[in-house]
Chains A and B, each alone.
Chain A
Amino acid sequence: MTAELTSMTAAALASAVAAGDVSATEVAQAHLDKIAAVDGQVRAFLHVSADVALAAARAVDASRAAGRPLGPLAGVPVAVKDVFTTTDMPTTCGSRILDGWLPPYESTVTRRLRAAGAVPLGKTNMDEFAMGSSTENSAFGPSRNPWDLTRVPGGSSGGSAAAVAAFEAPLATGTDTGGSIRQPAAVCGIVGTKPTYGGSSRYGVVAFASSLDTPGPLARTVLDAALMHEAMSGHDPADSTSIDAPVPPVVAAARQADVAGMRIGVVTELGGEGYQPGVLTRFGEAVELLESLGAKVVEVSCPHFAYALPAYYLIAPSECSSNLARFDGMRYGLRAGDDGTRSAEEVMSLTRGEGFGAEVKRRIILGTYALSSGYYDAYYGKAQQVRTLVIRDFDAAFEQVDVLVSPSTPTTAFRIGERADDPMAMYVADLCTIPSDLAGNAALSVPCGLAPDDGLPVGLQVMAPVLADDRMYRVAAAVEAALAGRWGHPLLAGAPDLRDGEREE
């Protein structure tokens, strides 16, 4: 029964709980048991909170017993990326500098998920302050890819992706700044969505780069991602950049799962040289599949996407250099060197030196430089111009097609340590995902098979215009259904069974 519960989709679990076939408490316990069994190997979680999970589950069961209406995710466990503030679980952002911080307020996204009946299991590992593509930048050590424990699960939402792929949770929250939801989803063989910027609230999401950060869902199926997307999104008056518009009908679109007559553009610039052949093979097959399902596929050029990555590495660090200034040891979190002899300035400096990891420091320094007097125009200013050009490329493309597609990542999951000392190699993991972050449009990654060269998952990225998030769910659901039909099972059914794996400590 337990194994069955953890392999069920969120949609199926919500139905079963609502129908009384299973209690939310049983569902929660099954997932807690699974975490206990496999997380020693996967290391997806920084903090598991059985008390919080079981209390939430019992509340769902009590509601049902009392005949009260249940939310759309009632009884469905969710893993929460450790960048969302939660009042009953610590929030560290994978950083020493916030070790032990218990926020006094709840993020909008987790508040909405709880209101929808979701059951929080704990907080998942991430690259420190969401800066990275592998979780290797976590101060608490890397998470592992459930497909191959010697490989990274991607990042920065790598803990969330690993938890979902390892069947520790059917759903997880992530945040996407340069690809931090889609890239780990792709390399873990699951679905991950970056909604339209402003479609999901940033309130209570510890900021990395404010103009880019976008919370979104990670799930094993397109419909599950859509259910979570719908539950967590919508206008939030506490976030000035939140869009005051209805959530696009993503659940209906996921159920529609039909691409007949849709115009789909393949982005010329996102492929070719530098991409892993196995990735390009599976991507090519996915495009053919879409065509066979009745879509009209054309090639579309987005010439400025080539400059998106460097522009991103000026804008995101600039914003982060300012956003992370507040971690100064004065009010919360780590304080270093306060022995009564040092000035506030010295304590701030020692705290930041000790509390931040190397990648965070690198980006703070990059951003500080890019914003400094005399360099602003050449760096931050120029990057903003590139951003405008990328937006125009998307605008022009979406005049010709309904959605754009590309590989989600240039390669499959790389080995832990392989790129740790080479920032540039690490940065290109987000080559395909960054344009949509800069432009603020919606994008998701859906599994499209295992690369023939290494047997690891490959993601198909589907990009849609601002507030047309529903379109990409139609496409992704159609691909998912067609591939499952072809393979005879979902992709993850082919992942190694971690229950038999040896527990590492």
Chain B
Amino acid sequence: MTETTPGLVSFDEAVTRYDPLIGLETHVELGTMSKMFCGCPTAFGAPPNSQVCPVCLGLPGSLPVTNAAAIEFTIRIGLALNCSIASWCRFARKNYFYPDMPKDFQISQYDEPLCTDGWLEVTVPADGAPPRQVRVEIERVHLEEDTGKSLHKGGATGRIHGADYSLVDYNRAGIPLVEIVTKPIAGTGELAPVAGRDYVTELRDVLRTLGVSDVRMEQGSLRCDVNVSLAPKGSGRWGTRTETKNVNSLRSVERSIRYEIERQAAELDAGHRIVQETRHFHEDTGTTTAGRSKEEAQDYRYFPEPDLVPIAPSRDWVEKLRATLPELPSARRARLQAEWQLSDLDMAALANAGALDLVAETVAAGAAPADARKWWLGELRQRANAAGTELTALGVTPAQVARVSELVASGALNDKLARQVLDSVLAGEGSPDEVVAARGLAVVSDDSALLAAVDEAIAANPDVAGVIRGGKAAAAGVLVGAVMKATRGQADATRVRELILDRLSQP
């Protein structure tokens, strides 16, 4: 592999001189019970080659039969992405030899995709400005079968070249795979990497809402190929594109686009041409390296799959599927934003923190929207950041947060106690009520118990008491602090202050 890259141009510099054009092809493994063309189960992580049969192994004489659920899932995806649904279309064979493809052809769709011409609205946050709405045009959504998985043993790269031997697991072979292809996305400028990432995020949320896939990038159930090309700023003369394959995390989508912009800018600056090729992204370095060039690209000899009858979804069925689509993320966000009366920026902050669902569930469990937001974006986010984890993985449920919020609202806990309760919940000590009971963490509201502490504090701080008696009520803070300390924070600070001022105003 020879790299001729003459160094890189910094991203900021690159986007001042070039307009980036990006496009994404996203592969989604559908969460059907059985595979695309046979009855084998689709569970992830089963022992190698334990979920196979003559059909998905492509044994001589075996024949595929289309999984109707996969067709339904694909149409639902198409509808959610505002696509037209074909009234008649066919599968096609994509022919190429590879050991992890049992038939040495893949059943896919070629010039007759099931869904075409849709769009997805994506909210892209911009530094110091209101977020931008970008409408990503969807070219097509089609259905195909996944291949098996090759493990190349030995050799440095984990790729087939240089490996000592290879193992193939056909469990994945034949799992229904949907490919969602965008049209080229122009006009995002320096936001292109973020826009790419946010498109995939939004798409993932749509797919999750539809319940058609578990959309786990780390398990490969959602995978992206990222296309990037550049044009000299304002020229509209788009250069050759590269396709970075198998970019398998949201962060990598952003990084790979960023890197390709930097790399292509440097090539163009040096007067080189961009080679049309596929490229590999390296998670460790954040860089891409050249793969197969167009000249080496294969002729897939597509032709209509003769083993399968055409797909002809009736209009009635499509309309029924449309009518039963769930509320999609964008519509839900708009509804919640209105219900919670949040600004666009506040809403974007919630979304960025991955807290939207958590807040919504906390509100649904009885908390006030403002309180729910406060807890998740405040205390809990700090703890998640400190622990280097996502909010959803923190170990506290929206219902528990709602309960803590309720205890504060009723005066049973103050904020400080509430934080202690949450810490104990996070430490696995049980529900908020269990923690409160076990640790005795209730606000002391019995005046007689507080008065003893107040008298003690006054006695211990005669100077301060004198100042207060002299009319400086603001000095009461010192005594409040002492009482709070004495009661291990369990007192209601407002009431303590009242009691101190009351005591010291007496003759």
- A residues with CB within 8 A of B: 83-85, 91, 93, 98, 101, 103-105, 107, 202-207, 209-211, 237-241, 318-319, 321-322, 325-328, 330-332, 343-345, 348, 368, 371-373, 376, 380
Contact A238–B59 (Cβ < 8 Å) = no
| Smallest CB gap from A347: residue in B | B99
List B contacts of A319 (CB < 8 A): 303, 306
Partner of A344, one of B65, B99, B308: B99
List B contacts of A238 (CB < 8 A): 63, 65
Q: Select the residue from B54, B99, B303 with max chain A CB neighbours within 10 A.
A: B303
Q: Does B209 contact A (CB under 8 A)?
A: no
Q: Does B329 contact A (CB under 8 A)?
A: no
Shortest Cβ gap from A197 to chain B (Å)? 11
List A contacts of B238 (CB < 8 A): none
| Smallest CB gap from A95: residue in B | B60
Contact B307–A210 (Cβ < 8 Å) = yes
- B residues with CB within 8 A of A: 54, 57-66, 93, 95, 97, 99, 102-105, 160, 166, 168, 299, 301-303, 306-309
Contact B63–A104 (Cβ < 8 Å) = no
In whole angstroms, what is the CA distance A322 to B99 when docked? 15
List A contacts of B57 (CB < 8 A): 331
In whole angstroms, what is the CA distance A104 to B60 when docked? 10
Contact A240–B103 (Cβ < 8 Å) = no
Shortest Cβ gap from B10 to chain A (Å)? 41
Shortest Cβ gap from A90 to chain B (Å)? 12
Partner of B65, one of A204, A209, A240: A240
Contact B60–A91 (Cβ < 8 Å) = yes
In whole angstroms, what is the CA distance A239 to B61 when docked? 10
Q: How many A-B residue pairs have CB under 8 A?
A: 103
| Smallest CB gap from B305: residue in A | A210
Main secondary structure of the interface of A (DSSP, over half): loop
List B contacts of A202 (CB < 8 A): 63
Once A98-B60, A105-B54, A240-B307 are accepted as A-B contacts, the answer to whether A328 and B97 lie under 8 Å apart by CB is yes
Shortest Cβ gap from B99 to chain A (Å)? 5
Shortest Cβ gap from A287 to chain B (Å)? 35
In whole angstroms, what is the CA distance A345 to B298 when docked? 14
Partner of A325, one of B66, B99, B105, B306: B105
Contact A322–B60 (Cβ < 8 Å) = no
Shortest Cβ gap from A487 to chain B (Å)? 41
Shortest Cβ gap from B45 to chain A (Å)? 23
List A contacts of B64 (CB < 8 A): 240
Contact B160–A368 (Cβ < 8 Å) = no
Contact A372–B104 (Cβ < 8 Å) = no
Shortest Cβ gap from A134 to chain B (Å)? 23
Shortest Cβ gap from B401 to chain A (Å)? 51
List A contacts of B65 (CB < 8 A): 237-240
In whole angstroms, what is the CA distance A209 to B103 when docked? 15
In whole angstroms, what is the CA distance A238 to B308 when docked? 11
List B contacts of A380 (CB < 8 A): 303
Once A322-B105, A368-B301 are accepted as A-B contacts, the answer to whether A241 and B309 lie under 8 Å apart by CB is yes
List B contacts of A322 (CB < 8 A): 93, 95, 105, 301, 303
Contact B63–A344 (Cβ < 8 Å) = no
Once A240-B64, A328-B99, A348-B97 are accepted as A-B contacts, the answer to whether A104 and B59 lie under 8 Å apart by CB is yes
Partner of B61, one of A107, A371, A373: A107
Contact B61–A344 (Cβ < 8 Å) = no
Contact B308–A240 (Cβ < 8 Å) = yes
Once A371-B95, A371-B303 are accepted as A-B contacts, the answer to whether A93 and B66 lie under 8 Å apart by CB is no
Contact A372–B301 (Cβ < 8 Å) = yes
In whole angstroms, what is the CA distance A105 to B104 when docked? 21
In whole angstroms, what is the CA distance A492 to B160 when docked? 60
Contact B60–A93 (Cβ < 8 Å) = yes
Q: Select the residue from B57, B59, B63, B64 with max chain A CB neighbours within 10 A.
A: B63
| Smallest CB gap from B54: residue in A | A105
Partner of B59, one of A105, A321, A376: A105
List A contacts of B306 (CB < 8 A): 209-211, 241, 319
List B contacts of A241 (CB < 8 A): 306-309
Contact B59–A103 (Cβ < 8 Å) = yes
